[in-house]
Amino acid sequence: MQELRDAHDSGASRSAPLAPLTTFRLGGPAARLRTATTDDEVIAAVREADDAGTPLLLIGGGSNLVIADEGFPGTALRIATSGRQLSGTRLELAAGENWSDAVARTVEAGLAGIECLAGIPGSAGATPIQNVGAYGQEVSSTITEVVAYDRRERRTVTLAAEDCGFSYRSSRFKAEPDRHVVLRVRFQLDDADGLSAPLKYAETARALGVEPGERVPVQTARETVLKLRAGKGMVLDPEDHDTWSAGSFFTNPVLTDAEFEDFTARVAERLGADVAAPAFPAGEGLTKTSAAWLIDKAGFTKGYGDGPARISSKHTLALTNRGAARTADLLALAREVRDGVREAFGVTLVNEPMLVGCSL
């Protein structure tokens, strides 16, 4: 079996910096860093850590990680596997494949289903964990199977989509973070004569000058989403500190009927009876509202903050490293925003990124 490698393909690295492997560019070092470029290498590294009782941190694109300033006391495993197979409308991606590049290739092939997920940073293996979604699409609508290593049963398993426990920004992989290691993800896309899936997101439809439910050329849909994301600082750019983030830091709250009634009363009290908060059906007895709206209306506007960690100047949902921040600075800002929203509206925001060695 090919020997596991560090970021420079020269053996495992000790006391290795992790900040450069994250889009926040924050966090202390790992006791050990290894890089796996094949599924076999991933499995071998995971088994070795499990057998030794060593803490294990899996890193893909690093776009959803907040690592403590103290670092990680165990082994960080960077999953850099590659492999992209497109057969008709069926797509299989290795976990380490760049997600945004994979979306671009499917669009070039004229296939629909993930075109509105363009520009999302990170790797393919992370998409089922978070049930990645944006602009009216979620990967759960196209994923057919996830191939993973089951750490509990010590074997490779293939999970059908219905066994993945997909829900809003979550899955069984997120619910049981120490059990499965995603190796490959399989998708069923749509050959609709080069047209997109029906547009579900009102902002995208407006930008395209069409009505929700209509289709447009799939390449046009992708390009429009990329422009929308770039305007919000959600497309990675090393020169733009608004993109030194994890994208949306908080998930959109999903409220029960009773919680939503209390919430609307607080909105009326604070902002006036004529102000209506965003509300979207989220299942029986559930309503989803907008975290970005809550943050803004609680007084945390774009660019908020005077320290090294601030709210993005382009989007209130993104907390950013302005270049000299530490994780402690980011968490202090996140707590301030979370607590301010809770005080104003009685809604507690939940962080979307994974917190490693730290908490809110």
Annotated active-site residue 84? The verdict is no
The helix (run of H) or strand (run of E) holding residue 158 is strand 155-160
Q: How far apart are CA 297 and CA 6, in angstroms?
A: 46
Catalytic residue among 245, 248, 312, 338: 248
- One-letter amino acid at 228 equals L
Q: How far apart are CA 223 and CA 208, in angstroms?
A: 10
Catalytic residue among 169, 172, 186, 310: 169
Q: How far apart are CA 301 and CA 294, in angstroms?
A: 10
Distance of CA 138 to the CA centre of its chain: 11
Annotated active-site residue 248? The verdict is yes
C-beta of residue 270 within 8 angstroms of C-beta of residue 261: no
Q: How far apart are CA 299 and CA 311, in angstroms?
A: 12
Q: How many C-alpha atoms does 342 have within 13 Å on its Cβ side?
A: 10
Task: From 62, 100, 102, select the one nearest 83 (Cα to Cα).
Answer: 102
Q: How far apart are CA 21 and CA 68, in angstroms?
A: 14
Angle at 103 between CA 102 and CA 108, to 5 degrees: 95
Annotated active-site residue 78? The verdict is no
Task: From 119, 355, 123, 114, select the one nearest 250 (Cα to Cα).
Answer: 355
Torsion of CA 333, 135, 266, 283, to 10 degrees: -120
Around Cβ 68, how many Cβ atoms within 10 Å? 20
Task: From 13, 24, 105, select the one nearest 330 (Cα to Cα).
Answer: 24
C-beta of residue 197 within 8 angstroms of C-beta of residue 113: yes
Around Cβ 258, how many Cβ atoms within 10 Å? 9
Q: How far apart are CA 222 and CA 236, in angstroms?
A: 16
C-beta of residue 89 within 8 angstroms of C-beta of residue 109: no
Active site residues: 169, 248, 352
